[in-house]
Structure 1
Amino acid sequence: MAGDRHRAVLVLTNSYDVTADVVLRILADRRVPVVRVDPGADLHAGALLTAHYSTGEQRGTLCTSSRVLDLCNVRSVWVRRPSPHEAPPGMAEHDAKFAGAQAFWGTGGILASLPGAHYVNHPWCIRNAEYKPVQLAVASRSEFLIPDTVITADPGEARRFCADQPGGAVYKPIWDSRYRDAEGTAQQVWVRGVDPAEITDAVSACPHLFQAKVSKLFDVRVTVVGTRLFGVRIDSPDLDWRHRQALMTCTPVEIPESVARSVVAYLGELRLTYGAFDFAVTAAGDWYFLECNPNGQWAWQPAETTDGIAHALADQLEKGPDT
């Protein structure tokens, strides 16, 4: 409808998100109105968000330094990389915890329930899809091949599982938690091989994820936007290609029809419009599902692939909700 041309795309992301800029330039060329805001930061720096609810009516406004947005006039919401909902700086600890929780549930709730908006992806769907156990369960139902996996805080079970894997086992964190060593230096926990003998009773402190090591020939990243799939083969000398990305090479790869069908089923069950899937591919041509990031980065891929993903995202945001 002609009126839809005036409905804005709301982009929730931080001010340093250069990946979002790629899509916003395309929307600007198409003359699609866009409002970009980082609610976790901007609402402490002059932006204002208000919502009204009454019987049969919902309305509200978001005021930034340059725009006043009618919350009932949003065609799409792109949940990219917004800052966490926190308290304003300088508050006492207990007051800050209270204010931060109110911001999370209040601001987050308003922006997650805009009437008639198309979400890419909805924030609650993102959170649900970030749980590794959920990913593995849905992947199994979607008929992906999955490496044998155990999640346990039982050291004996962990040792038995790893010892039973003929090709070896790997450890990977269940969540990309912030970690600092004894000197306070930030550390990244990469996927790595595990010898059963090195598993100690310290495993009992929290759940750990151990997985059969896939004898892979290469990795694949499949980025999905709506019904469009973009596959890239990744060749890396490392078990975890993220470790030294300067050493990896990326080339487009064809996605088998069986994998594409499973991708569609997976996204459908988790109600996702966007997903970044990682696979390990064997010499026999078997594609093993490793994970799906519902908000994964994509602009690091070859220029042709990045351009295709950017235009597919712009298409999704421009079209708004399905009618």
Structure 2
Amino acid sequence: MKNILIPAMVGDTDSIIVQLALEELGHVVHRLVGDNFPTRQTISYSISNADLALGKFHDINSGLSSDNIDTVWLRRPRWPVISETLHPSDKFIAEEESKQFIRSLYQTSWDSAIWVNSLEGKRRAGSKLLQLRVAAELGLIIPDTLVSNNPDEIRKFVKEKNDSAIVKPLMGGDWKENGKRYVTYTAAISTAQLNDNEMIAACPCIYQNTIQKEYEVRATFFGSTAIAVKLNSQDVKSGKLDWRIAEPHTLKISPIELPTEIYKKCISVMNKLGIIHGSFDFAVTGNGDWVFFEVNEAGQFLWLEDYVPSLPVLQTAVEFLLNPSADFIMKNPGRRITIREIVNSDKYKMSLLDDQKNVGSFKNTAII
């Protein structure tokens, strides 16, 4: 039996499904919803000469100690959500102090556990600029890229690409406004749209040449095991620039094997970034070139099995979290746990209801 900690966010079904699968195998799982602190969660951390450190956590979901954790799956940790009832000045202080406390906890707790991924790996992999530089250094093809808030340089770059360029955020995000949810996606950009210097200069963005895609590939790595699918995004109007906008069932998703050289370079990228789990996005051109876009160290992955049931994604994730390492290779587990099995269970339905009791915030950002 192993003890696994999953810092996660409200509504993250991947972490809920993985938790239930691990528990079905007899393991102890703590899903720590960071949004709950400090309104619905108490944390105590003691340190002395007698006891070097001990953290105790208790919230509406469960209680746990900072010791006896074998694996920390740093899924999607969150910043504290401070009560709106506080005076604005008090709220600012409470928020800053709470953030520093949570940041310090992650730096000093669960030293003996294996982390997926480490704090440093998460930080490095969170930099799209570093990703692109590492990928280029390792010989992967990347788009021509400009990251800037300089209106003149941006217009020059887009003009040089014959107005065939895209713009996307450095981090991405979502928010609520007038009852609607908005998400930042990749968008086409032309010089005709770049007239407002003040607006352009207000926020740096990533600008790249448009890649002429034949299809796209999402490859999720668990250590040295890769599960990849082909996405026919160019057959769907809404998915041509960003396949995430399209309805998944329209993408005609199918399994695909990574070319050996691409597989090896993905492993090298992960090693350079210091991560052992991540989801890679590639575009494949008509010439057969594989163009690297990014690697998301905390990307959604169970949807791969949802649309291609033959792929043992959940089982691979479970086995990996029980034995996490850069060298992990998935072996035949015998009895396979599937997403459908978990999602159709009463425990999953109850877990979703419990999750709704947590504190959620679209403005809450992940810890980096």
Short-chain TM bin? 0.7 to 0.9
Change beyond 3 A, Cα 1:317–1:146: same
Q: Which amino acid aligns with 1:133?
A: L
**CA 1:204–1:300: 2 relative to 1, 3 Å:** same
Runs of 5+ in structure 2 lacking a partner? Answer: 327-368
User: CA deviation digits over 1:271-296, x for unaligned, max 9?
Assistant: 11211111110112111011111111
Residue identity matched to 1:93 = P
Query: Contact 1:32–1:318 (CA<8 Å) still a contact in 2?
Result: no
Q: 2:167 aligns with which of 159, 166, 171?
A: 171
Q: Scaled by the length of structure 2, what TM-score is found?
A: 0.77
Among 299, 304, 321, the residue aligned to 1:301: 304
Q: Which moved more, 1:136-145 or 1:57-66?
A: 57-66
1:242 maps to which of 235, 241, 244: 244
Is it true that 1:273 corresponds to 2:276 in the alignment? yes
Structure 1 portions without partners, runs of 5+: none
1:318 is matched with 322
Q: Supply the RMSD in Å over aligned alpha carbons.
A: 2.6
Structure 1 residues 306 and 103: alpha-carbon distance in aligned structure 2, compared to 1, 3 A threshold? farther
Q: Could you tell me how far apart the structure 1 residues matched to 2:126 and 2:310 are?
A: 23
Report the TM-score, using the length of structure 1 for normalisation. 0.87
Shift of the alpha carbon at 1:267?
0.9
> CA, structure 1 residues 206+284, in 2 after alignment: closer, same or farther (shift >3 Å)?
same
Is 2:49 the counterpart of 1:52?
Answer: no
Mapped partners of 2:315, 2:270: distance in 1 = 20
Instruction: Tell me the residue number matched to 2:207.
Output: 210
| Corresponding residue SS for 1:301 | helix
How many pairs does the alignment contain?
Answer: 315
- Partner of 1:132 in structure 2? 128
User: Please, which of 59, 62, 70 is the counterpart of residue 65 of structure 2?
Assistant: 70
SS at match of 1:242: helix
What residue in structure 1 maps to residue 5 of structure 2? 10
User: Which of residues 190, 193, 205 in structure 1 aligns to 2:188?
Assistant: 193
Which string of whole-angstrom CA distances, capped at 9 and with x for unpartnered residues, describes residues 299-319 of structure 1?
A: 222435696332222223223
| SS at 2:253 equivalent | strand
Partner residue of 1:92?
87
Deviation at 1:122, TM superposition (A): 2.7
Structure 1 residue 261 and structure 2 residue 280: aligned? no
Moved over 4 A (4+): 64-68, 178-181, 183-186, 304-307
More off after superposition, 60-69 vs 19-28: 60-69
Q: Secondary structure at the match of 1:219?
A: strand
Q: Distance in 2 between matches of 1:305 and 1:97?
A: 47
Distance 1:135 1:34 in 2: 31
Find the aligned partners of 1:206 and 1:17 in 2 and give their Cα distance. Answer: 29
- Give the SS at the match of 2:72: strand
SS at structure 2 position matched to 1:57: coil
- Distance change (3 Å), C-alpha of 1:198 and 1:309: same
